[in-house]
Amino acid sequence: MTDFGIARAIQASARGYALTMVGAAIGTPAYMSPEQAGADQELDGRSDVYSLGCVLFEMLTGQPPFTGMTAARVIIRHNTDPVPRARTMRPEVPIAVDELVHRALAKHPSERFATAGDLVTELERRDIAPTTRWTGVFATSAAEVAPTSLPFIAVIPFDNMSADPENEYFSDGITEDIIAQLSKVRGFRVMSRTSTMRYKGQRPGVPEIGRELGVTHVLEGSVRRAGARLRIVAQLIDARTDEHLWAETFDREMTDVFAIQTEVAEKIAEVLHARLSPTDRSRLARKPTDDIEAYHLYLLGRHYYNKVTAADFQRAVDHYRRAIERDPGYARAYAAIGEAQLYLGLGYWGIRPRDIVPDGMAMAMKALELDPDSAEAHATLGLCCQCYRHDWAASGSELSRAVELNPSASMIRVYYAMHLCAVGRFDEALRQRDVACLLDPGAMAVRGNACWILHLAGRTEDAIADGRTLRELEPASPYAAFSHGLVCSQGTNQAETIEAFRDAVRLSGGVSLYVVMLAYGLAHGGQHDEARVHLAELAERGKTEFVWPMGLAMAYGALGEEMVALEHLERAYEERVGWMQLMAREPMLEPLRHTARFQALVRKVGPAEALLA
């Protein structure tokens, strides 16, 4: 709080009272106004208004508006980065409160309130009082997401009307890109693609879709591609009344595909009375590539990526690389390579992280060089910093920036929740989890990770209930079975744990990740002989493929073979496998927690907060 009154103190200094050396920046970097950081002698009360805005933003969201690894980096961000929105991180913050805090944080003093009293007067004028709708918005222990008045849009997969069914990837890609464009508009929320893909090829009534997904509006349409011509039909419907609010047919050249996507987003913003700032319009109008063939290759890459297998991830990377060969400035393709390589390099797919993640990080950094506003690239870099480099300051900074840039991206919020779990900010992690589930309730990856976040936060019974629900929704998914077994492992029914892991092995055809977790489940449940059989199998497989050492550490720890378990855990650290970043919070490593070697690894991995766990 020492930053408040600095303007008054400097004015006093100008009248002859000694304060500090001339030209020095005074104050705490997290709360410094841009002019204060520049050691401007002409400060007035508006600098204090900015500091107040920083504090209010932190009270609303749990973190300052600008963070960084060093004080210098924080000061630079105060001066150069766009002012973030509190509603990006806490959707339940009233719009009017968000607007007033945003104004207090304006870069130029002339755009702020003249005094803190003026801010209070404006709050009173707008009649913003703590009501049941947002009581507790400043309470960081609130774990549930309050309802929001923002429109919530579901984009149903656009129908492929082309003569060639092979163009299905193109219509799906157009759908995904329209979702991405709409997500850039801050005046509404957009459901992620995975929850809406269930409606591909089927069309229940719009009110039914609205009820099932919990959305207020549905956007549907079709795509017809014929040679160099493209026809896109789109219509927006109010899911509550079944009223058609807007419809338009775009009959253009293929080269206009990005302009059409921008126009769709702008039209919907207009219909829903969402105000577009100049920055919003600039982001919407940005053209990702001038090479249509590169765009087709990118869409094919997304098509394979969404199949979520190791082989398809690699196919996706191959297509993205071909897109870059055609257009070396294609930021989206670089970001997509980074994302795919990060997933391949978590250590779950039989590939050593060190063989692939560094290139993925380089690709994400290249994407940011080309497009500093790429939410996907920020998220990938943040996750790499978390999982691979164990750089917690950079992880938090990159992931919070990614959430700010694309608040409708459910998986980005999941990644940020993982970071918050690691640093012990469980209430905030649970809020991010809840928003992710709201944005994408049908996404298996979101739901599976949501179970894990509850598991890490010690909400075992809730995690088990969610795991059972996921299994009911996705009975044929090995990942759903794995997630179910994971959270059940800390409950009282170990037979349920073992059965779930057995199903994961069976449904996956014996993927080593699931075999090692079955070995853990058996060992934890007292069935040591069978656990050793599976571990012997994995030792043999380890001669030709990379077997996730973190899981081996869990399994041997459950068997009571402490020294062997610690050897695998140390190897997991050396290889930088996924999950290692959460070792200090992971209950399945409890048998090893008391050892000096475990604690030494915690000190290496971090974060500093984990040392207190």
Least confident of 145-149, 299-303, 358-362: 145-149
- Cβ proximity of 101 and 27 under 8 Å: no
pLDDT (tens digit, 9 = 90+) per residue, 393-422?
999 999 999 999 998 899 999 999 999 999
Instruction: Name, in order, each residue with C-beta under 8 angstroms of 498's C-beta and a sequence gap of 6 or more.
Output: 485, 518, 521, 522, 525, 527
CATH fold of 6-125, please? Transferase(Phosphotransferase); domain 1 (1.10.510)
Where do you find CATH 3.40.50.10610 in the chain? 152-287
Has residue 302 got a pLDDT over 60?
yes
Cα angle 42, 44, 46; round to 5? 125
CATH fold of 152-287, please? Rossmann fold (3.40.50)
Tokens of 483: 């997630």
SS3 182: helix
List the alpha helices (DSSP H) in 347-423. 357-370, 375-384, 392-405, 410-422
What local confidence, expressed as pLDDT, does residue 31 receive? 83
In which residue are the tokens 């190791």 written? 310
| Averaged pLDDT, 83-112 | 81
Pairing of strands 217-226, 229-238: antiparallel
Pairing of strands 229-238, 243-253: antiparallel
Q: What is the dihedral of CA 552, 558, 560, 564, to 10 degrees?
A: 10
DSSP code per residue over 285-300: H--S-S-HHHHHHHHH
pLDDT (tens digit, 9 = 90+) per residue, 446-460?
999 999 999 999 999
Task: Annotate 457-479 with b (16+ C-beta within 10 A) or e (fewer).
Answer: bebbebbbebbbebbeebeebbb
Of the candidates 221, 149, 213, the residue with the CA atom closest to the CA atom of residue 187: 149
Of the candidates 94, 91, 106, 88, the residue with the CA atom closest to the CA atom of residue 52: 106
| C-alpha–C-alpha distance, residues 467 and 335, integer Å | 31
pLDDT (tens digit, 9 = 90+) per residue, 371-383?
999 999 999 999 9
| Averaged pLDDT, 28-43 | 74
What local confidence, expressed as pLDDT, does residue 41 receive? 56
Q: What share of the chain is helix, strand, coil (3-state, %, to 5)?
A: 60, 5, 30
Supply the mean pLDDT for the chain. Answer: 86
CA 477 to mean position of chain CA atoms = 23
Kindly report the pTM of this predicted structure: 0.72
DSSP code per residue over 521-558: HHHHTT-HHHHHHHHHHHHHHTTTS---HHHHHHHHHH
Q: What is the dihedral of CA 310, 539, 494, 467, to 10 degrees?
A: -10
The pLDDT-based confidence of 128 (bands split at 50, 70, 90) is low
Where do you find CATH 1.10.510.10 in the chain? 6-125
What local confidence, expressed as pLDDT, does residue 79 receive? 83
**Highest-pLDDT range among 13-22, 125-134, 254-263:** 254-263
| Averaged pLDDT, 52-62 | 85
The pLDDT-based confidence of 271 (bands split at 50, 70, 90) is very high
Choice between 86 and 505, residue whose per-residue pLDDT is larger: 505
Has residue 190 got a pLDDT over 60?
yes
- Cβ proximity of 443 and 195 under 8 Å: yes
Cβ-based neighbour number of residue 228 at 10 Å: 10
SS3 string, 66-114, reads CCCCCHHHHHHHHHHCCCCCHHHHCCCCCHHHHHHHHHHCCCCHHHCCC
pLDDT (tens digit, 9 = 90+) per residue, 537-579?
999 999 999 999 999 999 999 999 999 999 999 999 999 999 9
What local confidence, expressed as pLDDT, does residue 482 receive? 96
Cβ-based neighbour number of residue 432 at 10 Å: 28
Cβ-based neighbour number of residue 164 at 10 Å: 10
